[in-house]
Amino acid sequence: MNAVPAGPAVGPPDARRPWRALIAVLPFLLAFAAVATVFWTLRDRMPDPLAVHFTADGTGDGVAAASDFLMTWAVVPLVFGAVIGVLVLRNEAAGALRWAIGSGYGLAGLFGCLGVSNLLVNADADDASAVRFPMTYLVMALGVAVLSGAVGWLCAGPDRVRADKVAGPSRSTPALALGHGERASWSRTVGSPALLVLGPGLLVAGVFIGVSGSWAGAAVFAVVCLLCVAFAGVRVTVDHHGLTVASPVVARPRLRIPLARVAEAGVQRVSPLVDFGGWGYRIRSGRSGIVLRTGEALALRLTNGRVFVVTVDDAATAAALLNALAARTRTAGPDSGSGPDSGFGFGPDSGPGPGSSAPGQGG
């Protein structure tokens, strides 16, 4: 019952990568070129240091040396461009490259427009304290970002989809042998190392922001930190209710798929970026899932034709038990076993109930 690797991408894999990499990097190069050109054109008309940060009413409240400003606005877009270019060349985000390129264009447009606007408002100012940043410049930058993102989306072209994009499990798993009237359950917990690292990191950032004087911002970081920690892992349970996925820390929300909705279950190897464009609860065309890491996943073909996956160890045992319980439900009729709970449930959880545990049950 080992996981079977997913199929290859459709079409020639390398035909468009160099051109797409160039398309992905281009807006960041143009953003840097625009900021650098305006900087050298206006360098003799600007104060040093420059006003680089502004309050909501446009009053400057932060300064930076002119050389530091140019270095920051050179390094940041070039780094972003290099990262996206490498992702395209290595095909690490296949199936999500169009979103990545479109987002990159939007980010580059926003970055470049804000950089140029910052230099323009500093021009001819006697001192950084006299500089004001009109909010119309911010609105214009957001408009440029949206327009740039649309251009990037069009230039990127359609993504090549995977041959098994909505093909369900890589291989159907034989049903587990259950005796007449025998009840069984299976449970495993899977964690996300990325969220476990991100949560404390956000907490540290929030403390620094609070010490700096913005306790409202610190509170936002604290809330996000708690969410990261609470949902950094999920407990996956298979029993007579069906498949249930919930946080091991908080009881709600939870996701439940009743047995009556399971057409077949199996095992599939999942890569978060390649298959779903990221981590967490993901929705793609024809499929959805809770993807916390790369590796084997429990894959369900539902009765409506859609596919649901959840990354978890020992997925083969879970799939075998689900197939057995779903087959029993179909034989006994729609009113047995699964109950009405479907999707995100907020009612009391009755638990797996008494009975034997399938091999591979763990914590």
Q: What is the mean pLDDT of residues 81-105?
A: 73
Question: What contacts 351, CB < 8 A, 6 or more positions away?
Answer: none
* Number of folded domains that form the chain: 2
The helix/strand count (H/E) of the chain reads as: 7, 14
Q: Look at residue 281 in the predicted model and tell me its pLDDT.
A: 80
Least confident window among 186-195, 290-299, 300-309, 337-346: 337-346
Q: Is residue 1 part of a domain?
A: no
135 & 272 share domain: no
104 & 139 share domain: yes
Q: What is the mean pLDDT of residues 288-310?
A: 86
236 & 337 share domain: yes
Q: Look at residue 212 in the predicted model and tell me its pLDDT.
A: 60
Of 156, 179, 209, the residue at which a domain comes to its end is 156
CA-to-CA distance for 337 and 317, rounded, in angstroms? 19
The answer, as to whether pTM is greater than 0.95, is no
Whether the CB-CB separation of 244 and 352 falls below 8 Å is answered with no
pLDDT at 129 over 90: no
Pairing of strands 184-191, 356-357: parallel
Give the pLDDT band (50/70/90) at residue 138: confident
84 & 176 share domain: no
145 & 236 share domain: no
Question: What contacts 149, CB < 8 A, 6 or more positions away?
Answer: 102, 103, 105, 106, 109
Residue 185 is which amino acid? Answer: S
Q: Is residue 161 part of a domain?
A: no
Q: Which residue has the higher pLDDT, 29 or 156?
A: 29
Of 130, 156, 182, the residue at which a domain comes to its end is 156
186 & 136 share domain: no
Question: What contacts 313, CB < 8 A, 6 or more positions away?
Answer: 188, 190, 295, 296, 362
180 & 137 share domain: no
107 & 178 share domain: no
Whether the CB-CB separation of 113 and 140 falls below 8 Å is answered with yes
CA-to-CA distance for 250 and 227, rounded, in angstroms? 10
118 & 185 share domain: no
Question: Each residue of 162-185: b (16+ CB within 10 Å) or e?
Answer: bebbebbbbeebebbebeeeebbb
**End-to-end alpha carbon distance in the chain:** 20
CA-to-CA distance for 195 and 228, rounded, in angstroms? 6
Q: Look at residue 56 in the predicted model and tell me its pLDDT.
A: 78
Expressed as residue numbers, the domain containing 278 is: 171-192+232-357
Q: Look at residue 147 in the predicted model and tell me its pLDDT.
A: 93
pLDDT at 46 over 60: yes
Nearest to 228 by CA among 256, 204, 211: 204
100 & 179 share domain: no
Q: Which residue has the higher pLDDT, 235 or 171?
A: 235
Q: Is residue 253 part of a domain?
A: yes
Q: What is the mean pLDDT of residues 111-131?
A: 87
pLDDT at 216 over 80: no
Q: Is residue 319 part of a domain?
A: yes
pLDDT at 161 over 60: no
Q: Is residue 222 part of a domain?
A: no
pLDDT at 300 over 70: yes
144 & 176 share domain: no
Q: Is residue 363 part of a domain?
A: no
Q: Is residue 208 part of a domain?
A: no
3-state SS class at 15: coil
Q: Is residue 79 part of a domain?
A: yes
Burial of 127 (0-12, 13-18, 19+ CB in 10 A): exposed
Give the pLDDT band (50/70/90) at residue 217: low
Q: Which residue has the higher pLDDT, 337 or 88?
A: 88
CA-to-CA distance for 311 and 269, rounded, in angstroms? 8
3-state SS class at 91: coil
The edge-to-edge listing of strands for the beta sheet with 287-291 is 171-172, 262-270, 295-302, 307-311, 287-291, 280-284
182 & 120 share domain: no
Give the pLDDT band (50/70/90) at residue 146: very high
CA-to-CA distance for 189 and 174, rounded, in angstroms? 23
